Amino acid sequence: MIDGFGRNIDYLRVSITDRCNFRCLYCMPEEGVPKKDHNDILSFEQMESIIEVLAELGIKKIRVTGGEPLVRKGCVDFIDKISKIKGIEQVCLTTNGFYIDSHKEELKNTRLDLLNISLDSLNEDKFKTITRCGDIKEVLSGIETAREIGVKNIKINAVLMKGINDDEIREFAEFGKEKNVKIRFIEIMPFSICNSYEKYGISADEIIKRYDLIRTPDKDYSNNAETYKFKDGLEVGFIRPISKKFCAACNRVRLTADGKLLLCLHGTAYIDLKDKLGNKEAIKNAILEGIMNKPKEHGIDLGVIQNREMNSIGG
């Protein structure tokens, strides 16, 4: 599927719930989000029917995300089902890691090509401050479990925050080596309600300079991450939506739990698919027509801020 700027759109992120057991300060309000009416949320069968159409249109890779995807009952079964849809070559999961242990057996028996676990600090107290309620022990145990059950490609994502975790870059690099997982720091992005960008925003450039990091070829760092090395060879990656936007190479769209296909993480353009459920042709035509409205680039630098929170988009 080619958009109006000639980009090949072959990657879908599906947010299966906007609910979460954590309240990360840059993502969710402390009091949580109002519970959506059951009827407003797509069933897994409805999501699968949309994904089948998207796969016919050229989507090859899917990332299941949220909110916290593992809080929705049936998540792993859903992953298993979509991995079998014709045309889907890669299925990934993004999770805060808390429920990996309790899903161990299911995950062991499910194809997962890539697992991203979010972990913003290696310090127990800082971790609690960032997540407002999370227990780092559960997440660290989840990482061990994922390794133990043989998930081959595990990545740790940390949102880079000035004054909070920008002094932990080296510790993370060591952790990555010890656990044989890739570390990627993501520049914090502004969203309308939980806007922590002004307070905690810091450019990857500042970190690269501070630690004298050396750019290295990106090997298999996917998703627009750039790889850097410390002088002794320890590696970290940076995802830089703010300081080096990668919109020209954007290949993704995002399906929300309430049935909207978002065309840009930071824009307002979307295709409403919920009212077309049950009509495959209508879904297909709406996507083919709507994809031409995918914006050329995000406008954070111009002050354009998404009015949905990250917990409903999924990253």
Least Cβ distance, residue 127 to ligand SF4 (angstroms): 11
Q: Which of 243, 236, 292 is nearest to 263 (CA)?
A: 292
Binding of ligand SAM by 98 (CB under 6 A): no
| Contacts to ligand SF4 by CB under 6 A | 20, 22-24, 27-28, 66-68, 96, 118, 310-311
Between CA 268 and CA 299 the distance in angstroms is 11
Angle between helices 136-148 and 124-131 (to 10 degrees): 100
Binding of ligand SAM by 201 (CB under 6 A): no
Closer residue to ligand SAM (CB): 110 or 311: 311
Listed ranges 51-59, 185-193, 242-250, 288-296: which one lies at the site for ligand SAM (CB under 6 A): 185-193
Out of 42, 91, 96, 223, the only residue in the binding site for ligand SAM (CB under 6 A) is: 96
Least Cβ distance, residue 32 to ligand SF4 (angstroms): 9
Q: Which of 14, 13, 35, 42 is nearest to 274 (CA)?
A: 42
Least Cβ distance, residue 141 to ligand SF4 (angstroms): 16
Least Cβ distance, residue 10 to ligand SF4 (angstroms): 25
CA distances from 270 to 53, 259, 303 (A): 17, 10, 19
The structure tokens listed for 149 are 């059950």
Contact partner, 65, from ligand SF4, ligand SAM, none, Cβ < 5-8 Å per class: ligand SAM
- Residue 295 DSSP label: -
Contact partner, 127, from ligand SF4, ligand SAM, none, Cβ < 5-8 Å per class: none
Q: Which of 70, 77, 75, 92 is nearest to 20 (CA)?
A: 70
